[in-house]
Structure 1
Amino acid sequence: MRSMHVGVSLAAAVVAVTLAHVPLVARGPRATQAPAPPSAPVAWPASARMALSLSFDDGRASQVTQGLPVFARHGARVTLYVVPSAVEKAVDLWKQAAAAGHEIANHSLTHSCSGNFPFSRQKALEDHSIARMHEELATANRRIVELLGVPAPRSFAYPCGQTYVGRGRTTQSYVPVVAELFVSGRTWMDEAPNDPSYVDLAQATGIEMDGRDFADLRPVVEAARTAGAWLVLAGHDIGEGGRQTTRVAMLDALLAYAKDPANGIWLAPVGDVADHVVKARASR
């Protein structure tokens, strides 16, 4: 919904910014600090120096019509965060995506965002409750399973990157709901990748890749590799141009770069990386 430029300046910030943060658990108008996980480094599989996940939101048609051939020619698996009503329009193609090994993940039942977005005025987060959000996310999971015959999604992406319900003094975070129902929750329009030793998996960062060229994103990838981080790129449509569109030429270049063993990148869906982080932390 918003736009910003991710390039060399962001790549520099990735190295400079301290990735650790203190997650907050909302308690009405107040919040309490949640304990941080241990900070020992997390090693990536096969001696990779970073993890990279490509993710796409909304269940847009171009992800299965334009995206699947791109992913297939590079042997890449990605995460597709879907709204069930979008999947219903092309169930057979979405089944093909699942059969190809792509992660089918949850992007909510109704894609509710702030009512400040006119499209969401009749389903505004300001008018939601925690109970309603819990039911909508659980219902979306059930519907995805019914439509596609896949396991219940274990990854979630916050619509519009917004993590709250209510307004003013009654505002509450629904991050705890996501932490209960999923292994990971991905935000949106962030400025740094995830430190695997510290990240709150219910609030994993996502950096926009729509409208970018590979020349813009390569420094971001390289900075994440220097930090040993987990970079989650987030997009929407897949094609040659237009608003909220990840370019095919960029994907071809990025995926070729990521699949080159010399570059030390573990390319995997969000769910695979989140599971690896959970297991690595548990083994300490």
Structure 2
Amino acid sequence: MKTLLLFSLLFCVKGLAFAQQPDWHGKKCAVALTYDDGLQVHLDNVIPVLDSLNLKGTFYLAGNFPGVKARLNDWKKAANRGHELGNHTLFHPCAGGRPGREWVNPTYDLTTYTLPRIVDEIKMTNTLLQAIDGKTRRTFAFPCGDRMIGDKNYYDVVKADFIAARGVTSEMRKASEIDLGNVGCYAINGQSGEEMIALVKQAMSTNSVLVFLFHGVGGEHNLNVNLSEHNKLVRFLKQHEGDVWVAPFIDVAQSIKSVQAKR
């Protein structure tokens, strides 16, 4: 009788622990690979290696950027192969007028925007993206991580149009702790493959969500990672796919929503 009781207790404890695990398809953590600004190196360097490993990434397109306008058909092909195209606004407005932001174009200085202007530009970008990939479900990424117009978080006005938004705060969290209106990530600029892999191992050990943010991959941007170092990371992810769920950001966000809905 004691043995049966102990077995039943252990079964219940294990069942409770399993029920509390997020929907990572039975894996230890979730990883989303995100790439900003619709660069041509994403099409030429990143997508071929992801496709060769059957991994899917998320590419945040700013509609007016050269790499978007020049390669619309290639972005459509990428979407057809399962990569996510996300909304990064039409003109990528960032807040200028402070040290380190001298490069901000005064025409697209977020500090001079009104709420109607940013909302119109975000909605227009959704229309552009739907014309490319035919989809209506979308995620958003804040240009430069800037979210405020005056004292108003502009995402609050458009959040009904999105599953989630990615910010720029360097953090990884458990699914239950994540703010889907400002999901943290690790911005990569010159890190080695080993440093990025260490972040994956940390996510695995803590059952966390890990989002990578890339700009240049082998060039085309002053925020850049060497292509060979990037490829070390993605090959590690492929080699450990039994423990790591690698998915587009929109799929990871949807799983987070499911976990949070059960709380």
Q: Distance in 1 between the 2:36 and 2:219 partners?
A: 17
- Deviation of residue 149 (structure 1)? 3.5
Assess if the C-alpha contact under 8 Å between 2:118 and 2:154 holds in 1: yes
> 5+ residue gaps in structure 1?
1-39
Query: Do structure 1's residue 163 and structure 2's residue 142 form an aligned pair?
Result: no
Query: Do structure 1's residue 113 and structure 2's residue 98 form an aligned pair?
Result: no
> 5+ residue gaps in structure 2?
1-18
The amino acid across from 2:121 in the alignment is E
CA RMSD of aligned residues (A): 2.0
Question: Deviation string for 1:105-159 (max 9, x for gaps)?
Answer: 100011000123333322211111222222211111011222x143035111100
TM-score by length of 2: 0.84
Q: Distance in 1 between the 2:225 and 2:36 partners?
A: 11
Compare CA radii of gyration and give the structure with the larger one: 2
* Equivalent residue for 2:206, pick from 186, 210, 227: 227
The amino acid across from 1:95 in the alignment is K
- Larger mean CA deviation between 260-269 and 201-210 belongs to 260-269
Question: Deviation string for 1:43-89 (max 9, x for gaps)?
Answer: 23332111000000011111111112111111110000001223221
Query: Do structure 1's residue 186 and structure 2's residue 166 form an aligned pair?
Result: yes
Query: Do structure 1's residue 272 and structure 2's residue 258 form an aligned pair?
Result: no
The amino acid across from 2:46 in the alignment is G
Query: Do structure 1's residue 200 and structure 2's residue 185 form an aligned pair?
Result: no
Q: After TM superposition, which residue ranges in structure 1, 4 or more long, deviate above 6 angstroms?
A: none
Assess if the C-alpha contact under 8 Å between 1:42 and 1:196 holds in 2: no
Q: Alpha carbons of 1:101 and 1:196: their partners in 2 closer, same or farther (altered >3 Å)?
A: same
Q: Distance in 2 between the 1:177 and 1:41 partners?
A: 32
Query: Do structure 1's residue 247 and structure 2's residue 226 form an aligned pair?
Result: yes
Assess if the C-alpha contact under 8 Å between 1:44 and 1:266 holds in 2: no
Q: Which residue of 2 aligns with 1:77?
A: 56
What is the total number of aligned residue pairs between the two structures?
239
After the TM superposition, which residues 1-284 of structure 1 pair with which residues of structure 2 at under 5 Å, given as runs? 41-86=20-65, 87-116=68-97, 117=101, 118-146=103-131, 148-166=132-150, 171-188=151-168, 190-239=169-218, 243-261=222-240, 264-284=243-263
> Identity across aligned pairs (percent)?
25
TM-score by length of 1: 0.78
Q: 3-state SS of the aligned residue for 1:85?
A: coil
